[in-house]
């Protein structure tokens, strides 16, 4: 099922059964010609590799027959030329496929990156990050193994046996059959594995995807996970994903190993030598074969069945590449955010929700029939119990996801009609979850407005109450920061993102209020910084602590995805409804230890 525009985070596995597009071939299209050229070179290299063996046999034949020495030297020359051609052709084949592979990787990564740029941002908030990491790294790695190695291996092992077979049949067809006698037995061993290995491989791929997602989730929540040790849910999920991956890997390895061991034993030159030497001696004693004619079977024949294993291993690589290609197609087929048919740019910045309904999955609505007006320049706070849909409501304004029903307007223009760059440029988003990019503090702030001068960056930092903290660092604004960890505290990091938003100077600010930074000093600084940011802008705050939004122009109470109350702090308290109950709950004696102390600190 390919997900509807931005609404779900599906893996798209439902429609895997394969339109022609979803093949390895489609992905390989840009390098197909070079791949075929490389395979032909590998084939020729492998055929050339037979020449030295044939030369040894023929030299032996000539010498035993006491023929002219110049014929012997011709065979010596042919043998040396064959060995040199084998090496040269294989080197060129490797160069061709490795250059093609580098181009393919660049092409696929660029294609994925281009696609990521048009995907709904919300896709990355679910399984998307793990899916994307698997496509960008693991799948491309699997394609690399196929393009750079498996294709050459396969073309190589096909070339030598075919040429050797022709040579051996021409020498003695009965001994050729004897030489190949191990193949049916090895095929039986491999066929049984062939039936179960694809299932094991699919299990392994699924387990790897789960592990990717769990690892990203774990790294994202490392601070919480560390605080709660093994009790953390994220840690358990990672541990379960690791266990499942190890179990799948062990099952796959055991199954593949059993089949490989028995067939490799049967196909090994030692087993074939035993059979060829034994039966061949019998043939000579019976007078069916002259002794010199046994030489090709001892020299060339014993190595003939072994490449069969390379073919099996190569086809496994191809199977892996096919699964990787399917997954790459899943990601590339994720629907892009629809572009506006008739783009329009708003000139005013009030926000209106008109009968908006939305669910991450079709059968579980998260927001139902939401009507809401956030007047321009005013502060609208959205409150409600956990899971009531507050964050989701905020995400719909910058089109992390598109609504299922109804519309959202900015200045009277449907957000779906506003070009994505204009829309995102009009909204400064300050998330609870502060992620800084790996760069200096200065560049992290400058992201708000590329091209801003250093003075403008510092003014924004002053307004966000973080300038003094930055200048107190040994490297000041040039301090490197990254991800979610580093020299800055959570509240300080959030003030960096507020400085970024101030610099962006967007008319709308979307704020998912932080709950994590509870030390009074940081909290007061964050609130002051937010006060600066809100000035003169349309502010939508997703709030968890009611005392922070008492002065909002409008408070909207959500419950189970519906707006159940709206008004000012005083009018909602007077109404003695849901907001009143929440306020009382947050200010009851058990809560007072935290809330009142904060109010006093203010």
List 392, 417, 504, 554, residue binding ligand ATP (CB under 6 A): 392
Q: Is 440 in the site for ligand ATP (CB under 6 A)?
A: no
List 147, 175, 366, 457, residue binding ligand ATP (CB under 6 A): 366
Q: Is 391 in the site for ligand ATP (CB under 6 A)?
A: yes
Kindly indicate which of the ranges 29-37, 112-120, 380-388, 463-471 contains the residues binding ligand ATP, using the contact rule CB under 6 A: 380-388
Residue environment code for 398-436, b if the CB has 16+ CB neighbours within 10 A, otherwise e: bbbbbbbebebbbbebbbbbbebebbbebbbbbbbebeb
d(CA 454, CA 499): 13
Give the total of residues touching ligand ATP (CB under 6 A).
Answer: 14
Task: Please report how close the Cβ of residue 337 comes to ligand ATP at its closest, in angstroms.
Answer: 15
Q: How many other C-beta atoms lie within 10 A of the C-beta of residue 176?
A: 20
Could you tell me which residues are beta bridge partners of residue 539?
A: 379, 509
Task: Please report how close the Cβ of residue 128 comes to ligand ATP at its closest, in angstroms.
Answer: 9
Output the CA–CA distances (angstroms, integers) from residue 26 to 21, 104, 138, in the order listed: 6, 12, 18
3-state secondary structure 462-482: HHCCCHHHHHCCCCHHHCEEE
Kindly indicate which of the ranges 106-114, 268-276, 282-290, 381-389 contains the residues binding ligand ATP, using the contact rule CB under 6 A: 381-389
Q: Residue 292 or residue 336: which is nearer to ligand ATP going by CB?
A: 336
Task: Please report how close the Cβ of residue 220 comes to ligand ATP at its closest, in angstroms.
Answer: 13
Q: Is 363 in the site for ligand ATP (CB under 6 A)?
A: no
Count of helices and strands (H, E) across the chain: 24, 12
Burial of 300 (0-12, 13-18, 19+ CB in 10 A): buried
End-to-end Cα spacing for the chain: 52
Kindly indicate which of the ranges 337-345, 384-392, 410-418, 574-582 contains the residues binding ligand ATP, using the contact rule CB under 6 A: 384-392
Q: Is 3 in the site for ligand ATP (CB under 6 A)?
A: no
CA angle, 407 then 413 then 418, to 5°: 95
Task: Please report how close the Cβ of residue 314 comes to ligand ATP at its closest, in angstroms.
Answer: 40
Q: Is 399 in the site for ligand ATP (CB under 6 A)?
A: no
d(CA 380, CA 542): 9
Tokens linked to 168:
């051996």
Phi first, then psi: what are they for 335, rounded to 5°? Answer: -65, 135
Task: Please report how close the Cβ of residue 561 comes to ligand ATP at its closest, in angstroms.
Answer: 8
Task: Please report how close the Cβ of residue 211 comes to ligand ATP at its closest, in angstroms.
Answer: 20
Which helix (H) or strand (E) segment is 457 a member of? helix 454-463
Task: Please report how close the Cβ of residue 384 comes to ligand ATP at its closest, in angstroms.
Answer: 6
Phi first, then psi: what are they for 6, rounded to 5°? Answer: 70, -5
Task: Please report how close the Cβ of residue 595 comes to ligand ATP at its closest, in angstroms.
Answer: 17
Chain-centroid distance, C-alpha 597: 45
List 99, 167, 360, 431, residue binding ligand ATP (CB under 6 A): 360
List 3, 5, 9, 307, residue binding ligand ATP (CB under 6 A): 9
Q: Residue 276 or residue 403: which is nearer to ligand ATP going by CB?
A: 403
Phi first, then psi: what are they for 356, rounded to 5°? Answer: -85, 130
List 386, 450, 472, 600, residue binding ligand ATP (CB under 6 A): 386
Q: Residue 73 or residue 228: which is nearer to ligand ATP going by CB?
A: 228
d(CA 296, CA 301): 6
CA angle, 537 then 541 then 546, to 5°: 130
Q: Is 516 in the site for ligand ATP (CB under 6 A)?
A: no
The binding track of 543-582 with respect to ligand ATP, each residue x by CB under 6 A or -, is: -x--------------------------------------
The binding track of 34-73 with respect to ligand ATP, each residue x by CB under 6 A or -, is: ----------------------------------------
Q: Residue 9 or residue 501: which is nearer to ligand ATP going by CB?
A: 9
Kindly indicate which of the ranges 253-261, 314-322, 334-342, 385-393 contains the residues binding ligand ATP, using the contact rule CB under 6 A: 385-393
The binding track of 401-420 with respect to ligand ATP, each residue x by CB under 6 A or -, is: --------------------
Burial of 85 (0-12, 13-18, 19+ CB in 10 A): middle
Question: What residues numbered 105-134 form the site for ligand ATP, per CB under 6 A?
Answer: 125-126
d(CA 395, CA 382): 13
Q: Residue 223 or residue 482: which is nearer to ligand ATP going by CB?
A: 223
Task: Please report how close the Cβ of residue 36 comes to ligand ATP at its closest, in angstroms.
Answer: 44
Tokens linked to 269:
């030159």
Task: Please report how close the Cβ of residue 226 comes to ligand ATP at its closest, in angstroms.
Answer: 22
3-state secondary structure 546-591: HHHHCCCCEEEEEECCEEEEEECHHHHHHHCCHHHHHHHHHCCHHH
Q: Is 448 in the site for ligand ATP (CB under 6 A)?
A: no
Q: Is 268 in the site for ligand ATP (CB under 6 A)?
A: no
Kindly indicate which of the ranges 79-87, 111-119, 230-238, 388-396 contains the residues binding ligand ATP, using the contact rule CB under 6 A: 388-396
Place of tokens 């069969």: 308
Residues that bind ligand ATP (CB under 6 A): 9, 125-126, 360, 366, 384, 386-392, 544
């Amino acid at each position: 099922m390919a997900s509807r525009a931005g609404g779900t985070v599906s893996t798209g596995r439902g429609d895997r059964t394969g339109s022609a597009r979803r093949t390895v071939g489609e992905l390989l299209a840009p390098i197909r010609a070079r791949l075929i050229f490389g395979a032909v070179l590998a084939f020729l290299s492998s055929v050339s590799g037979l020449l030295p063996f044939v030369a040894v046999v023929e030299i032996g034949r000539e010498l035993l027959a006491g023929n002219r020495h110049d014929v012997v030297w011709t065979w010596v020359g042919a043998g040396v030329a064959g060995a040199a051609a084998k090496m040269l052709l294989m080197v060129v084949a490797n160069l061709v496929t490795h250059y093609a592979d580098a181009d393919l990787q660049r092409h696929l990564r660029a294609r994925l990156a281009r696609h990521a740029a048009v995907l709904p941002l919300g896709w990355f908030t679910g399984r998307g990050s793990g899916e994307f990491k698997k496509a960008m790294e693991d799948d491309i790695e699997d394609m690399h193994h196929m393009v750079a190695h498996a294709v050459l291996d396969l073309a190589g092992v096909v070339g030598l046996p075919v040429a050797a077979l022709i040579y051996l049949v021409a020498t003695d067809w009965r001994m050729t059959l004897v030489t190949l006698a191990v193949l049916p037995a090895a095929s039986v061993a491999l066929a049984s594995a062939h039936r179960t290995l694809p299932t094991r491989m699919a299990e392994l791929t699924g387990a790897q995807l789960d592990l990717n997602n769990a690892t990203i989730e774990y790294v994202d929540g490392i601070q919480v996970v560390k605080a709660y040790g093994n009790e953390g849910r994220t840690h358990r999920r990672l541990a379960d994903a690791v266990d499942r991956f190890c179990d799948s890997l062990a099952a796959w390895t055991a199954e593949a190993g059993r089949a490989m061991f028995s067939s490799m034993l049967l196909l090994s030159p030692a087993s074939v030598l035993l059979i060829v030497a034994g039966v061949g001696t019998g043939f000579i004693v019976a007078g069916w074969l002259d002794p010199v004619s046994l030489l090709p079977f001892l020299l060339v024949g014993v190595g003939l069945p072994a490449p069969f294993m390379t073919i099996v291993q190569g086809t496994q690589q191809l199977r892996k590449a096919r699964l990787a290609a399917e997954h790459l197609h899943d990601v590339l087929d994720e629907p892009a955010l629809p572009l506006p048919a008739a783009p329009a740019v708003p000139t005013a910045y009030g926000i209106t929700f008109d009968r908006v309904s939305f669910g991450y999955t079709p059968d579980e609505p998260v927001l139902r029939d939401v009507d809401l007006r956030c007047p321009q320049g005013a502060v609208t706070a959205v409150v409600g119990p956990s899971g009531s849909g507050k964050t989701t409501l905020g995400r719909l304004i910058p089109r992390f996801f598109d609504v299922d029903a109804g519309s959202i307007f900015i200045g009277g223009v449907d957000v779906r009609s506003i070009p994505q760059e204009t829309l995102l440029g009009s909204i400064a988003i300050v998330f609870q979850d502060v992620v800084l990019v790996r760069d200096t503090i200065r560049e992290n702030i400058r992201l708000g407005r590329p091209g801003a001068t250093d003075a403008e960056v510092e003014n924004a930092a002053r307004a966000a109450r973080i300038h003094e903290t930055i200048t107190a660092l040994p490297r000041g604004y040039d301090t490197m920061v990254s991800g979610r960890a580093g020299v800055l505290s959570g509240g300080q990091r959030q003030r960096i993102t507020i400085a970024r938003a101030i610099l962006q100077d967007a008319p709308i600010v979307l704020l998912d209020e932080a709950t994590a930074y509870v030390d009074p000093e940081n909290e007061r600084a964050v609130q002051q910084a937010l006060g600066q940011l809100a000035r003169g802008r349309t502010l939508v705050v997703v709030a968890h602590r009611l005392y922070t939004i008492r002065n909002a122009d409008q408070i909207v109470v959500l419950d189970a995805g519906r707006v159940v109350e709206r008004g000012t702090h005083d009018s909602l308290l007077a109404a003695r409804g849901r907001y009143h109950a929440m306020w009382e709950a947050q200010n009851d004696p058990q809560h007072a230890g935290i809330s009142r102390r904060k109010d006093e600190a203010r």
